[in-house]
Amino acid sequence: MSLVSTLKEFSIGNNTANYYSLPELGKLLGVDIQSLPVSIRIVLESVLRNCDGQKITEEHVRQLANWQPVAKREDEIPFVVARVVLQDFTGVPLLADLAAMRAVADKMGKDPKKIEPLVPVDLVVDHSVMIDYFGTKNALDLNMKVEFQRNQERYQFMKWGMQAFDTFGVVPPGFGIVHQVNLEYLARGVYQKNNVYYPDSLVGTDSHTTMINGIGVVAWGVGGIEAEAAMLGQPVYFLTPDVIGVELTGQLRGGVTATDLVLTLTEMLRREKVVGKFVEFCGEGTATLSVTNRATIGNMAPEYGATMGFFPVDDHTIEYFKGTGRTEQEVAALENYFKAQNMYGIPKGKDIRYTKLLHLDLSTVAPSLAGPKRPQDRIEIGHVKNTFADLFVKPVTENGFNQSPEKFEQTFETSAGTKLKNGDILIAAITSCTNTSNPSVMLAAGLLAKKAVEAGMKISSHIKTSLAPGSRVVTEYLTATGLLPYLDKLGFDVAAYGCTTCIGNAGDLAADINQSIIENDLVCAAVLSGNRNFEARIHPNIKANFLASPPLVVAYALAGTITKDLMTEPVGKGKNGDVWLGDIWPSEQEVQELLATAMQPEVFRKNYAQVKTNPGKLWEKIKGVTGDVYNWPDSTYIAKPPFFDAFEMTPSPMPPVKNARALGIFGDSVTTDHISPAGSIKETSPAGRWLNDHGIMKADFNSYGSRRGNHEIMMRGTFANVRIKNLMIPPLPTGSRVEGGETLHQPSGEQMSIYDAAMKYIDDGVSTVVFGGEEYGTGSSRDWAAKGTQLLGVKAVIARSFERIHRSNLVGMGVLPLQFKNSDSVDTLGITGTETFDISGLENGIKAQQDVTLTIRRDDGSTQDVTVLLRIDTPIEVDYYQNGGILPFVLRQLL
């Protein structure tokens, strides 16, 4: 069989170009390619085009071409992506790893330039800006000045990277959020090398990379660890996935937004347990959705747990490419390529062989919020007040706040005279890639603000309001439609272009408000148009966080509390008395009339031309060192990572785990935010103490996210979230749990920080393990959640189930992910943390997904052997683990 015969020609205008034809492959293999899910076909094209007989063989092509909807998933797909996208929180540590690899090459007398990205890499600086200033005309200018002052050392390091690596580009601060910039600017539709055309595909170091699925691009978030391997020429390896089809029918009702739709889908798909699966949208309802609505749905794939939320290319995709200023040549290449491959248009559910086909009638979607702690906990708007009241008194084990009922109506006055009640909204933020890329919801927020201002309504001055558009184009169309002044009047001035409140960069609250919340144990609220509302992510003192569409963020800010039912009570008072939600909610027609202003090709072209021609004075002033090898100047932001300190060309065998102690025992839904927080650093925490010892004042701590280039801070911040609960520590007399990164050191039983206990165990030569419940590592694709775990000396994480990215990150760092089988758990096995543990069964060679024995040795001398599943899922992951992780594995290959 010769796969070369699949190389065919297609035309672009008057020119012809080559492509690897999937219909031709189908004929060659006698396979019905047309009934394969479109997402599988795009991956198949990459496997076919990159088939070299070594990393990728004809057998790989055959296996994937013969994909079956229902089968045992044992085959590994080697997927070579077209490019890699980074955001700065994850991009900086990745750049530090590359710099460290170059240092190893240099030390070994090899050419450091051997360490070079082999595919284009774009880093978008969007996570570093905080909402320090808000509600004023100059908030944007002031926040950016503070951002550059805080992050100068990181930006100097990025400038070094730009000159050291040939394929590494940076989109400077102030242009927008990585996923919106990716959608509007970086994505080209199809690429070509030596006149062979192929579809865009990528991995990104942010879980919401899936937003790009909205324009037919196969892409998902990976940890920085895996992204580095992809950059350095390794295929992204993953198990052949199930593909769940979602057939949408009908149309959204007036007043229902794309946000309401995505929260409904998140709830529905979480219930379906789509973790590790591709989700692909089909049907007539899907065909009616605009690309920006599709992008909103693709964006939240991590929240519903899927690897992707994929939409095929069709006429709407082509309109979007034209409207965002792509060239005629690019648009023609995209359309003609997908037509040549028979992959153009939204298929009907019956035409594709899906693992399972789900259905949703769009007309059944209702206005909703999600919260107060998880994005999948959707609440229809009419039930928000009662749900909050119920959760207020419920125990923490039932997702509640464990408060006494009489406190619900009490009013507390702060030292500055602000009156506060439980349920009061203190942060209202129009932010995040999910919604700020979507003109329909942004224009709706502007129209609602206009009607509210005209009705004489105001927002209380103690509510922290902010508008952080996903790109500068949003400001252009809000200005062109005359809506921006009304948002300004309500305090929603443009405060930043970046991933602000949603990533934990909300900035602080007023000191008197913080004091009152802590002293009175208040459950106050935030509303944001984001995708994440995990505990302590938005602000450490705000316990109830609700995701909502941009217009609902404005409406709730006007109401001032989550304890008001906006369906049956007025939103607030205006100049003529009560104002109801129906009085200020924009009609579908009003939004539609303004939508054309959001798609002006010239505006997009002019804006993004400035990335290279006019990146801004603040960015131009940053000067980085030059040269191929970094000189590691003294810095509390950037330090040479220790992952290659003992590097040798031959890997040492991984030592067995014997007499290990439990460093922590955690419950269900422990997120990567719990394991490696991104927000503020407490002065009394191990990381805060380290910064104090190095002469850094509290005001200059910045955030954990911004300091990910320094392992000293990140390992001290591992398991240091202020809301994490280690179940090794007995409950308090009230029944509630101790919060924060504490543990009991064994056998002393002394309570101390997890970091201090880990260092004590390392000094004593004692291995450690961590236990978890369901969905361990859910949330962001945070490689530091795995890197920090490894640096604390943890040899294995044993959980009921793992979220996809975190599991692969653990393997990538040489930490064993082990999964309890059947109904086994920490509870059923009676594990308290006083035991010691052995892990056996790996001594005679490791096989993917084999059984392993966990031996529990209790205080009374009894032992128990428990069979657990090794979640090293694929043969390549076995290689990574045996090399001590993915980075040493790749470095050995390159050298």
What pLDDT, on the 0 to 100 scale, is given for residue 534? 80
Q: Distance between CA 556 and CA 577 in Å, rounded?
A: 18
Residue 736 has pLDDT above 80, yes or no: yes
SS3 at position 218:
strand
Query: What single-letter amino acid sits at 866?
Result: V
229 in Cβ contact with 203 (< 8 Å): no
Residue 210 has pLDDT above 70, yes or no: yes
pLDDT category of residue 257 using cuts at 50, 70 and 90:
very high
Tell me the torsion sign for CA atoms 414, 417, 421, 425.
Answer: negative
Alpha carbons 550 and 447: distance in angstroms, whole number:
11
User: Distance between CA 110 and CA 848 in Å, rounded?
Assistant: 34
CATH superfamily, with its number, for domain 368-598: Aconitase, domain 3 (3.30.499.10)
Mean pLDDT (whole number) for 696-713: 92
Q: Is 224 helix (H, G, I), strand (E, B) or coil?
A: helix
> With 70 as the cut, is the pLDDT of residue 1 above it?
no
- Mean per-residue pLDDT over the chain, rounded: 95
Q: For residue 372, say if its preceding peptide bond is cis, omega within 30 degrees of 0.
A: yes
Q: Is the dihedral of CA 110, 112, 117, 120 positive or negative?
A: negative
Contact indicator for 305, 269 with CB cutoff of 8 Å: yes
Q: Would you place residue 834 in the very low, low, confident or very high pLDDT band (cuts 50, 70, 90)?
A: very high
Q: Model confidence over 601-651: pLDDT tens digits?
A: 999 999 999 999 999 999 999 998 999 999 999 999 999 999 999 899 999
**Cα separations (Å) of 387 from 145, 192, 493?**
41, 53, 31
Band the pLDDT of 434: cuts 50, 70, 90: confident
Return the domain boundaries, the chain: 3-74, 368-598, 645-670+748-779+790-894
- Residue spans of beta strands (DSSP E) within 701-793: 742-745, 750-753, 768-771
Secondary element (H or E) of residue 244: strand 243-249
CATH of domain 645-670+748-779+790-894: 3.20.19.10
Query: How is the beta sheet containing 544-547 ordered, strand by strand?
Result: 378-380, 368-370, 544-547, 525-528, 425-430, 464-467
SS3 529: coil
Cβ neighbours of 881 (radius 10 Å): 25
Phi and psi at residue 150, in whole multiples of 5°?
Answer: -65, -35
- For 239, the token pair is 């198990």
Tens of pLDDT along 335-392? Answer: 999 999 999 999 999 999 999 999 999 999 999 999 999 999 999 999 999 999 999 9
Supply the DSSP symbol for 396: G
Residue 320 has pLDDT above 70, yes or no: yes
Give residue 518's region: left, alpha or beta (phi > 0; psi -120 to 50).
alpha
The CA distances from residue 332 to 21, 118, 345, 605, in Å, are 18, 27, 15, 18
* pLDDT surpasses 70 at 502: yes
Which of 173 and 803 is assigned the larger pLDDT? 173
**Residue 517 confidence class, pLDDT cut points 50, 70, 90:** very high
**In the predicted model, what is the mean pLDDT of residues 114-123?**
94
**Residue 226 banded pLDDT, cuts 50, 70, 90:** confident
Query: What average pLDDT does this structure show over 462-482?
Result: 96
Mean pLDDT lowest among 25-39, 286-300, 682-696, 727-741: 727-741
Type of residue at 191: Y
What percent of the chain lies above the pLDDT cut of 90? 87
HSE-CB at 283 with a 13 A cutoff on CA atoms is 19
Tell me which range, 392-401, 456-465, 499-508, is most confidently predicted by mean pLDDT: 456-465
Q: What is the pTM of this model?
A: 0.89
Instruction: Please tell me the predicted confidence (pLDDT) of residue 483.
Output: 98
User: pLDDT at position 804, please?
Assistant: 81
Q: Does the structure show a pLDDT above 80 at 781? A: no
- Banded model confidence at residue 397, pLDDT cuts 50, 70, 90: confident
Indicate if the pLDDT at residue 841 is higher than 80: yes
